[in-house]
């Protein structure tokens, strides 16, 4: 009688441990780390291709909570049956968070592309913060060399909120300091739907079609570690398609204009 009771208890405990270990394994599968954490995945980069990749052009989506722009990009690639999108899925949040036994930190994935930018962007909560910065720097350098360094055109896709960024923000900045070279505003367009570009050629092409466009001053722009700052320094043609969240139609039209630009200037 007692023996059977204890057997049942042991069976029950075994079952619980088994379930717990499955749960732990699933967590590890999502975010693998080895013993010394040197191979921890800090930037969960995935490349989604819909046919043949472009050799000199990259489309990129950095903020996981900006779903409109991801869907617009994937739909366009699907229609074109070519090209790739670099995407960073990280739990549907704007920031990426790293939590291990050794260190706990988070950062905005569009503030990490320069040395100063990522030092300012890294919010270290616990543990070896110097290690966190080294780990993040290695991951960024690897991402840049693998996907972005060789590109001639980078097309980034973002969304903003009604109370957030708009072309009017840049108009104000242009008045305050020399960080913006030119701003084109079409009063018929929603101010939240605008392009931020690094090259005069892209500014001219897109503004002539009646879009809101900001031309970054690649020399004077403040170093916030964003991809536009990095691309400006490297003299890479960079176009950020920035649209209000939920503005599918507007962002689709903006991406169609960029596709025309790609065909005119970058696809031989």
Q: How would you classify residue 37: left for phi > 0, otherwise alpha for psi between -120 and 50, otherwise beta?
A: left
Tokens of 17: 């441990």
Nearest-approach distance from CB 174 to Zn ion, in angstroms: 21
Tokens of 195: 């392009």
Per-residue binder mask for Zn ion (CB under 5 A), 43-82, x = binder: --------------------x--x----------------
Q: Give 17-21's long-range contacts (Cβ < 8 A, gap of 24+).
A: none
Per-residue binder mask for Zn ion (CB under 5 A), 109-148, x = binder: ----------------------------------------
Helix (H, G, I), strand (E, B) or coil at 196: strand
The stretch among 129-137, 151-159, 180-188, 193-201 that binds Zn ion (CB under 5 A) is: 151-159
The stretch among 18-26, 152-160, 189-197, 251-259 that binds Zn ion (CB under 5 A) is: 152-160
Pick the closer one to Zn ion by CB: 60 or 236: 60
175 contacts 182 by C-beta, under 8 angstroms: no
Pick the closer one to Zn ion by CB: 103 or 214: 214
Nearest-approach distance from CB 213 to Zn ion, in angstroms: 18
Nearest-approach distance from CB 245 to Zn ion, in angstroms: 10
Count interface residues toward Zn ion (CB under 5 A): 3
Among 158, 181, 192, 247, binds Zn ion (CB under 5 A): 158
219-248 binders of Zn ion (CB under 5 A)? none
82-111 binders of Zn ion (CB under 5 A)? none
Nearest-approach distance from CB 199 to Zn ion, in angstroms: 21
**DSSP per-residue codes, 88-145:** --STT-SSEEEE-SSEEEEE-TTS-SSHHHHHHH-EEEEE-HHHHHHHHHHHHHHHII
151 contacts 53 by C-beta, under 8 angstroms: no
Helix (H, G, I), strand (E, B) or coil at 72: helix
With residues binned 3-state (H G I as helix, E B as strand, rest as coil), the percentages for the chain, rounded to 5, are 45, 20, 35
Nearest-approach distance from CB 250 to Zn ion, in angstroms: 16
50 contacts 78 by C-beta, under 8 angstroms: yes
Nearest-approach distance from CB 108 to Zn ion, in angstroms: 9
Question: How far is the C-alpha of 63 from the C-alpha of 67, rounded, in Å?
Answer: 8
The stretch among 156-164, 213-221, 227-235, 258-266 that binds Zn ion (CB under 5 A) is: 156-164
Pick the closer one to Zn ion by CB: 63 or 118: 63
Nearest-approach distance from CB 241 to Zn ion, in angstroms: 11
Q: Which residues bind Zn ion (CB under 5 A)?
A: 63, 66, 158
């Amino acid at each position: 009688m007692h023996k059977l009771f204890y057997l049942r208890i042991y069976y029950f405990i075994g079952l619980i441990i088994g379930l717990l270990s499955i749960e732990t394994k699933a967590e590890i599968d999502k975010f693998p780390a080895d013993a010394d954490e040197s191979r921890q995945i800090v930037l969960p980069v995935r490349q989604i291709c819909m046919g043949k990749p472009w050799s000199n052009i990259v489309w990129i989506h950095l903020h996981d909570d900006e779903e409109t722009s991801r869907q617009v990009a994937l739909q366009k690639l699907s229609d074109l049956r070519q090209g790739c999108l670099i995407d960073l899925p990280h739990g549907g949040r704007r920031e990426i968070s790293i939590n291990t036994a050794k260190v706990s930190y988070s950062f905005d994935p569009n503030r990490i592309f320069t040395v100063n930018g990522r030092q300012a962007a890294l919010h270290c909560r616990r543990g070896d913060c110097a290690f966190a910065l080294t780990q993040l720097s290695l991951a960024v350098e690897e991402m840049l060399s693998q996907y972005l360094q060789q590109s001639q055109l980078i097309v980034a896709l973002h969304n903003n909120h009604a109370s957030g960024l708009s072309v009017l923000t840049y108009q104000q900045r242009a008045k305050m300091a020399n960080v913006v070279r030119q701003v084109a505003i079409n009063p018929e367009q929603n101010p939240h739907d605008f392009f931020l570009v690094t090259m005069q050629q892209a500014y001219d092409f897109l503004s002539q079609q009646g879009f809101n466009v900001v031309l970054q001053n690649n020399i004077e722009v403040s170093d916030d570690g964003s991809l536009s700052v990095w691309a400006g320094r490297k003299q890479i043609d960079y176009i950020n398609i920035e649209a209000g969240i939920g503005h599918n139609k507007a962002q689709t039209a903006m991406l169609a204009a960029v596709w025309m630009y790609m065909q005119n200037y970058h696809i031989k």
